[in-house]
């Protein structure tokens, strides 16, 4: 399976499919929004940090700044995340 792009646009499209009022945590690889996105798109990973995620070989993959900022924002629901990401994506 090819790896999905970890971009603000890709995560925004994914977040739009989640229940808007469903919360996510920021400090848990299992429950953070990016960890859930990676898992649901078939990417096997070992850890997610604020600015990088790590694959099974512990190679660091950068998280784009606008995505990192949106993931850290409040409130931490998928609807709010989608709104923050949609506002940061340039057409």
The pTM score is 0.90
8 A C-beta contact, residue 50 and residue 63: yes
pLDDT of residue 25: 94
Q: What is the pLDDT of residues 42-85, one digit of tens each?
A: 999 999 998 999 999 999 999 999 999 999 999 999 999 999 99
Q: Sketch the domain layout of the chain as residue ranges.
A: 8-88
Write down the H helix ranges in the chain: 8-16, 33-40, 65-72, 78-88
**Rounded average pLDDT over 7-17:** 96
pLDDT of residue 90: 65
């Amino acid at each position: 399976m090819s790896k999905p792009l970890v971009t603000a646009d890709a995560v925004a499209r994914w977040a739009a499919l989640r229940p808007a009022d469903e919360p996510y945590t920021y400090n848990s690889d299992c429950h953070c929004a990016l960890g859930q996105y990676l898992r649901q798109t078939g990417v096997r990973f070992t850890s997610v940090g604020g600015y990088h995620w790590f694959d099974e070989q512990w190679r660091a993959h950068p998280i784009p700044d606008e995505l990192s900022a949106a993931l850290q924002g409040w409130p931490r629901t998928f609807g709010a995340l989608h709104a923050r990401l949609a506002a940061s994506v340039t057409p």
